[in-house]
Structure formats: C-alpha cells, structure tokens
Amino acid sequence: MNLKKVVFPVAGLGSRFLPATKAIPKEMLPIIDKPLIQYAVEEAIDAGFNELIFITGDTKRAITDHFDFKPDLNISNLTKDKKIFISQMHRIIPDHVSCQYIIQDEPLGLGHAILQAKEAVGEDPFAVVLADDLIDAKSGVLKQMIEHYQDKNSSIISVQKIKKSESVNYGIIEFKEGGENLIKITNIVEKPSPENAPSNFGVVGRYIFCNKIFSLLEKISVGVDNEIQLTDAIKLLLETSPIYSYEFDGTRYDCGTKLGFTKANIAFALKDRENANKLKGFIKDLL
Ligand code: UTP
C-alpha cells in the first residue's frame, strides 16, 4: 500500500487561545505532559505512516525543536528524580520516519494549508490529521480508517454524531443510504445552520485523500469565513470520485476550544492512576 504520507496542518492562528498561542502554535499546547501534535504524530506512526509533512506558520521553531532529538542533552548534574523525567523524553520520531516542514505564508484556511503539501505528496494518496482534534481510542483512528481504505480504495473522511444545534461548527455530510459506520456520501456543507444541516454527522480532523484533491484545492476560491475551505474541494471531488465517511470508535476532544481542551486535560489526568483519586476528590470539593 502506498499510503505512507501524512500532512499535519499546524499553521492556524489559534486565535481562540490567544495569548497562549502568540509565540507557539495551538498544536504545541499540552494535554498534561504531551503537546497535542505529539499525540497526533504517535497515532500516525502507529498506523504505519513514515513521511510526516508539517504545514507550519511563522511559529515553526517550536514544532521542529520538539521533534528534533537531542541525544547530547547534558543531564549529568541533575538529581535522580529529574533524570527519570528526562529519560521519558525518548526519541519521538523513529529512524525510519522522516519529517518535512513547509511554511504556509498566510493563514488562508485549512484547504490552503493542505495545498502547500502538493509537491511533497506527489502522486500518492495521503492522510491529513488535525492535531487539535484529540481522539482517545483503543486503536488509533488512522489505523481504523486504513482498514477501510484498503477495502474501498477511495477517499475517507472521519465523522462523529453531533447535536444538530452544533452544526455551525462542522462540515456536515449528506448521504442517501445509511450503513453501519462506513457511508458513501453524496454532499458536504460547511458550517450550516441547524435548519439547513443535511444530517447530524459532523466531520472530524482525520482524512485520507486521493491526490486529485490538490488540483481541486487550486480551483476553489475563498468560501465560508473568508478562507480556502477544504469542504469546497471535497464537494468538487465528489463529482468524479466516491468518498466515504467513517464513524470512528473513540472519544474526541475538540481541543481547538477552551472547553474541549479542558475536558481533555481532565480526562487524561484521570487516566493517571497515581493522581486520579486525588483529582476526583479535588473536583468533588470544588463542586
Ligand atoms: P482551526 O480553524 O481550528 O484553527 O483550523 P485556527 O484557525 O488556528 O483556530 P482559531 O479559530 O483561530 O482559534 C483547523 C486546523 O487547520 C490548521 C489549524 O492549525 C488547525 O490544525 N490551519 C487552519 C492551518 O494550518 N492553516 C490555516 O490557514 C488555517
């Protein structure tokens, strides 16, 4: 299978998290002790991707510095306790995986960010991961999607059931016939009002695309929110190619919002056996 490349758009303004995102991308914000982008990278590597393409803004350094392994780090004068923490800073990117960093000059939208990967991706199909959609799953969502990609050999976008009242925050899919968790879609609408939402399935940040998407991204002009919208290119792709939606197995945290980010931190903190009980007691007291 030639599905080895994965694109991480990390060049958004992250305006909902200012001033925290003034000097670092939103994707460097940590859930407990790991930045969002590391969760996303680990999910991709675990699914077998070995060419990681980051679309960065002018806060590029933070991401490259994070993934750049520094074996010569001087830890000899640290206490034993601290050495244990440092030892957890293992090599995040294994030797067989490469990283490429491409700059998006201006944050003109997700579609525009993905288009910057055109040369790097070439003729191959590829995945896109939005690291601010953190998904806690037994088997990573990309891994789940690959199984279906192998079967259908078509583009796949991940979705979750949403409340219709929240449709204005999502790309919403339309379909004729339902199915279990894999549905052939007929249309997609960016951020419709609840009255105009064609279904209650919202798109979440995991995609597998055939490379036709690039020529379509080149064709479209600015859409909703004055941005080059990925949704508009997906709509065009539907005219010539089948696209499936996949309802993944897992819990998604929208870490692009303060509420989602806080929920993720609490949920991940409660996974830590050492602190879970103390945290539960603390939350109880607060309430
Ligand atoms: P969002 O719209 O969630 O991110 O984009 P944002 O624009 O950074 O956030 P706010 O609204 O200002 O708070 C979804 C994903 O697409 C990337 C973002 O980094 C995020 O991963 N993105 C968005 C880009 O890489 N470039 C863009 O021009 C826009």
What is this structure's pTM?
Answer: 0.94
The predicted-structure confidence for 191-200, as pLDDT tens digits, reads as follows 999 999 999 9
Q: Which of 151, 166, 164 is nearest to 246 (CA)?
A: 151
pLDDT at site 143: 97
Residue (of 40, 8, 38, 14) closest to 26 by Cα position: 14
Closest CA to 257 of 36, 106, 33: 36
Best residue among 55, 110, 190, 227 to mutate for probing ligand 1's pocket (most ligand atoms within 8 Å of CB) is 110
pLDDT of 265 over the 80 cut: yes
Q: What is the mean pLDDT of residues 214-229?
A: 90
Residue 105, classified by CB atoms within 10 Å of its CB into exposed (0-12), middle (13-18) or buried (19+), is exposed
Cα of 131 vs centre of ligand 1, distance in Å, is: 10
- 14 CA to centre of ligand 1 in angstroms: 6
Q: How far is the CA of 194 from the centre of ligand 1 (A)?
A: 23
| Beta-strand runs (E) in 16-131 | 30-31, 34-35, 51-56, 98-103, 126-129
pLDDT band per the 50, 70, 90 thresholds, residue 69: low
pLDDT for residue 89: 66
What pLDDT does residue 61 have? 83
Q: Under 8 Å CB-to-CB from 107, ≥6 apart: which residues?
A: 11, 12, 13, 57, 113
- Domains in the chain, ordered, with CATH? 5-251 (3.90.550.10), 257-287 (no CATH)
What pLDDT, in 10s, does the model give residues 243-255?
999 999 999 999 9
Query: Which protein residues are within 6 Å of ligand 1, measured from CB?
Result: 9-16, 26, 55, 104, 107-110, 112-113, 130-132, 256
Nearby residues of 71 by Cβ (< 8 Å), 6 or more positions away: none
Q: Among residues of the chain, what percentage have pLDDT more than 70? A: 93
Residue 197 Cα distances to 91, 99, 184, 201, angstroms: 44, 38, 17, 9
- pLDDT level of residue 74 (50, 70, 90 thresholds): low
Tell me: pLDDT of 23 over 70. yes
* Residues 164/248, Cβ–Cβ less than 8 Å: no
State pLDDT tens for residues 48-63: 999 999 999 976 689 9
Of the two residues 60 and 19, the one the predictor is more confident about is 19
**Residue 118 confidence (pLDDT):** 97
* Section 28-36 average pLDDT: 96
Tell me the C-alpha distance between 133 and 110, whole Å: 14
246 CA distance to ligand 1 middle (Å)? 22
pLDDT score of 90 more than 80? no
Q: Give the whole-angstrom CA distance, residue 9 versus residue 182.
A: 25
What pLDDT is recorded for position 274? 87
Q: Which carries the bigger pLDDT value, residue 22 or residue 89?
A: 22
Closest-lying ligand 1 atom to the alpha carbon of residue 55? 25
- The helix/strand/coil state of 162 is coil
